[in-house]
Amino acid sequence: MAEQHSNILLLRKLGIDTHTENMIFVRADSQVCRSEGFTASTRVTIHFGTRSIVATLIVITSRLLSEGEASLSENAFESLQVQEGDRVTVEHLRPIVSFRDVRAKMFDKKFNAQALQGIIADITNGYYSHIEIAAFVTACSGDNLALDEVIYLTKAMIDSGSRLSWHKPMIIDKHCVGGLPGNRTTPIIVPIIAAAGLTIPKTSSRAITSPAGTADVVETMTPVNLTLAQIRHVIRKEGGCMVWGGAVKLSPADDLIIYVEKALDVDSAGQMIASVLSKKAAAGSTHTIIDIPVGDTAKVRSKEEAFLLEYYFRAVGLSIGLEVEVLITDGSQPVGRGIGPVLEAKDVLSVLRNEPEAPADLKERSLKLAGLMLETAGVTDKGKGLAHARQLLVSGAALDKFYKICEAQGGFHEPVTAALSHDVLAGEQGTITRIDNRKLAKVAKLAGAPKSPGAGLHFKAPLGTRVQKGQPLFTIYSESEGELAYALNYLHNTNHVLKIDPKR
């Protein structure tokens, strides 16, 4: 284009972190704003060499930038792979063709395979704004996706990212539908399964709105931010890994969709199933176990809901050649005692080390899931998996494999809790009859988890515990007085975190 010279801008760093949404900052009186008719919040394409990203334009009305300069948000610098001093070209975003299909869905037209391929490809390329992703998420929410649409969505997500292959007939994996604080079975299950001689290339996520993701927990003991080549090395050497999935980009559109879902606090069953199964398939799994904890403050609140999810998981799995087994588990209270990366890692190590005070619930849940995986993989006969898993744990084989995997990932180190602590005491005598998982998670987050890995809480009063007045219910850990005060302040102003029945 002839007039393109006026669209070239020199990049300057301003150090503005806008999280996942790319932004470009341009002077209001710049040639590019005038000639292109750009106004604040316009969506633009930014080119650098052969690379390009889409960003929202923010107009600078002050002297933060000089004539001919522009700045990008930190994430945009990263995704366009540019630095201060580079020159970029800015132009209007062409209309996003695939969004027509989102509009059609709003008018109750069903998605076909091609529509979802287009939408997921465009989200992957960063063409959708958060507003547009919110519309897509909403159009897919509730029971608005039929089984065939979930299958198309899953396949589109698989096609949009990297795909691993291991040249083995059996690759087994597990996933937990989540929402249960402290439910950190992965770092226990992976070494058991790998110790049994199976291949388990486990990728996990970091916390988005919870006090800890599995990747955050494992990171307190060993590096998780591995490249694809490093993961291959770990798997070849040890048969299992425990890494952060984000670095591998198995389903890049999914991260953006999940970000918006969390912002809306909306779960769409169809989206969730496509998200989980596409990542498993992309990681090269042939078999996967899905753990669905059910409880009234867990993510899935009723057995009926869990049964419906089971049907979808199995049917979609079938269509993409992935064998799925579902285990519906108790989701009425936290698992283990720690909530927060280090505190959960301590529970994990305690189980692996067969310490007598290891949390029995975390241990038994892990063994049950590992046992089912061993049976599914044909390592043992039906009904024999649990005992075999227990034997691998009790014998120390799992701990040994855990250290070896950590070694292969970059070395093991002992997790360290935060410096400050505060005991929260029972205000009366009685029996614990109800626990609000969401509120406990909130306390751990206010105390600093997961940003401060050592922060969080250590829970001492599971359901049915008989407590005396003044007995510690849980201990809050924090790196700073301010964060500790903030968690305590929240507790002061909130009811029903735990319910103590004085008559029982």
Residues with a catalytic annotation lie at: 267
Comparing CB distances to its own copies, the nearer of 36 and 291 is 36
- CA 147, 152, 154, 155 dihedral sign is positive
What does 308-339 look like in DSSP terms, one character per residue? HHHHHHHHHHHHTT-EEEEEEEE-SS-SSSEE
Report, in Å, the least distance between residue 483 CB and its own copies.
6
Report, in Å, the least distance between residue 130 CB and its own copies.
5
Q: For residue 482, state whether it binds its own copies (rule: CB under 8 A).
A: yes
Q: For residue 328, state whether it binds its own copies (rule: CB under 8 A).
A: no
- 2, 321, 383, 495: residue in contact with its own copies (rule CB under 8 A): 2
- 48, 403, 412, 486: residue in contact with its own copies (rule CB under 8 A): 486
- 69, 74, 305, 364: residue in contact with its own copies (rule CB under 8 A): 74
Give, as ranges, the residues between 101 and 160 that touch its own copies (CB under 8 A).
Answer: 103, 106-108, 129-135, 137-139, 141-144
- 122 sits in the region (left: phi over 0; alpha: psi -120 to 50; else beta) called alpha
Q: For residue 440, state whether it binds its own copies (rule: CB under 8 A).
A: no
Q: Which part of the chain contacts its own copies (CB under 8 A), choosing from 38-46, 150-158, 286-294, 343-351?
A: 38-46
Q: For residue 451, state whether it binds its own copies (rule: CB under 8 A).
A: yes
Residues making up the chain, counted from first to last = 504
- Residues 59 and 106: beta-carbon distance below 8 Å: no
- One-letter amino acid at 437 equals N
CA distance 441 to 445: 6
Give, as ranges, the residues between 263 and 292 that touch its own copies (CB under 8 A).
Answer: 263-266
- Residues 455 and 418: beta-carbon distance below 8 Å: yes
Q: For residue 17, state whether it binds its own copies (rule: CB under 8 A).
A: yes
Report, in Å, the least distance between residue 479 CB and its own copies.
9
Comparing CB distances to its own copies, the nearer of 238 and 483 is 483
- Residues 387 and 371: beta-carbon distance below 8 Å: yes
Q: For residue 97, state whether it binds its own copies (rule: CB under 8 A).
A: no
Residue of 491, 483, 415 lying closest to 184 (CA atoms): 415
Q: For residue 299, state whether it binds its own copies (rule: CB under 8 A).
A: no
CA distance 399 to 382: 25
Q: For residue 397, state whether it binds its own copies (rule: CB under 8 A).
A: no
Report, in Å, the least distance between residue 334 CB and its own copies.
20
- 29, 34, 66, 355: residue in contact with its own copies (rule CB under 8 A): 34
- 483, 491, 497, 498: residue in contact with its own copies (rule CB under 8 A): 483
- Residue found under tokens 């494999």: 401
Q: For residue 446, state whether it binds its own copies (rule: CB under 8 A).
A: yes
Q: Which part of the chain contacts its own copies (CB under 8 A), choosing from 318-326, 344-352, 357-365, 475-483?
A: 475-483
- Residues 41 and 131: beta-carbon distance below 8 Å: no
- CA 184, 187, 192, 196 dihedral sign is positive
- Residues 81 and 48: beta-carbon distance below 8 Å: yes
Residues with Cβ within 8 Å of residue 236, at least 6 apart in sequence: none
Residues with Cβ within 8 Å of residue 484, at least 6 apart in sequence: 420, 422, 447, 476, 478
CA distance 9 to 31: 10
Q: Which part of the chain contacts its own copies (CB under 8 A), choosing from 2-10, 161-169, 175-183, 239-247?
A: 2-10
Comparing CB distances to its own copies, the nearer of 131 and 318 is 131
List of residues contacting its own copies (CB under 8 A): 1-3, 6, 13-21, 25, 28, 31, 34-37, 39-41, 58-64, 74, 99, 103, 106-108, 129-135, 137-139, 141-144, 260, 263-266, 445-446, 448, 451, 480, 482-483, 485-486, 489
